[in-house]
Amino acid sequence: MITKAVLPVAGLGTRFLPITKSVPKEMLPVVDKPGLEYIVAEAVEAGLTELIFVTGAGKGAIEDYFHRDYFLESQLEASGKADYLKEVQRVGKLAKVISVRQQERLGLGHAVYQAAGIVSPNEDFAVLLGDDIIDAKTPAIGQLMAVQAERGGCCVALMDVPRDQTDRYGICDGQMVSPGLMHVSGMIEKPDPAEAPSTYSIVGRYVLPGEILQILETTPRGRGGEIQLTDALAVLAGRGQAWGLEFEGARFDTGNTLGLMRASIHFALKRPELAEGMRGILAEFS
């Protein structure tokens, strides 16, 4: 059974400068919670109990948020603010959180490799990227875990994108073996549209065998001079050990301003106490 999830959160958040000078991009709010909380909740709902944050400089706010704050709790308790106390305790107890620091920013593959001392060489684990929030009945990572449990190897989340966007994603080549399930034979990181073998792109969810950490150890720098997770996964794909699942759910790319706002609107409309007010606001601008 898979219990560990790696969440790379070391990225600089350049697209959100200047706010990311002092606020990690993962802490930017979607409605009134950090975007990362939705991803942590997805992992927890899928049964993942140990979350490994791969952090970098200036990311302390993430650790503070997901750990308990006994001083704040005792203050809230003493002043009888029971509702706030409950909320503060809830986020502090969502999961067991471990942080490792990525000392150099050498790419996503390098970030995932930082989990090597914590994930055993033969232990399967999950990876969830902070820019992709997925709202689904069954947590997207859980959907991938079910495929990987049955088929072994690795399983990545797939989304069919317009051809002119292939250079933003890892792209998979392969055969659809059943509706939505691809047996992946090759993967390439951010190919030009003319060279992309398909339009099936990887979005930020992966279930990986521990062996990937060994593969990453010797994965050379690839696209953009970075150690790419996609390149390491291509080794498994070459052996017939990679699967891609067109998951069920709505995906929000919170790595850009409009995507972040779109996610806020979606989740506000799902909150009974906010939905009507939000509809009113949208009507004002339509």
The residues that touch ligand G1P, with contacts defined as CB under 6 A, are 108, 129, 131-132, 169-170, 189, 201-204, 228-230
DSSP reduced 3-state for 121: coil
Taking the complex as a whole, the smallest distance from the CB of residue 159 to ligand G1P amounts, in Å, to 9
Closest CA to 252 of 28, 24, 5: 28
132 or 211, CB closer to ligand G1P? 132
208 or 278, CB closer to ligand G1P? 208
Q: E strand or H helix at 242, and its extent?
A: strand 242-246
Taking the complex as a whole, the smallest distance from the CB of residue 81 to ligand G1P amounts, in Å, to 39
Backbone phi, psi, residue 153, to 5°: 65, -135
114 neighbors 180 (Cβ within 8 angstroms): no
Taking the complex as a whole, the smallest distance from the CB of residue 11 to ligand G1P amounts, in Å, to 7
CA torsion, ordered 66, 142, 209, 119, to nearest 10 deg: 20
Closest CA to 242 of 159, 161, 147: 147
Taking the complex as a whole, the smallest distance from the CB of residue 196 to ligand G1P amounts, in Å, to 12
53 neighbors 62 (Cβ within 8 angstroms): yes
> For residue 118, what is the DSSP state?
T
| Residue at shortest CB range from ligand G1P | 170
27 or 233, CB closer to ligand G1P? 233
Taking the complex as a whole, the smallest distance from the CB of residue 167 to ligand G1P amounts, in Å, to 10
12 or 146, CB closer to ligand G1P? 12
85 or 187, CB closer to ligand G1P? 187
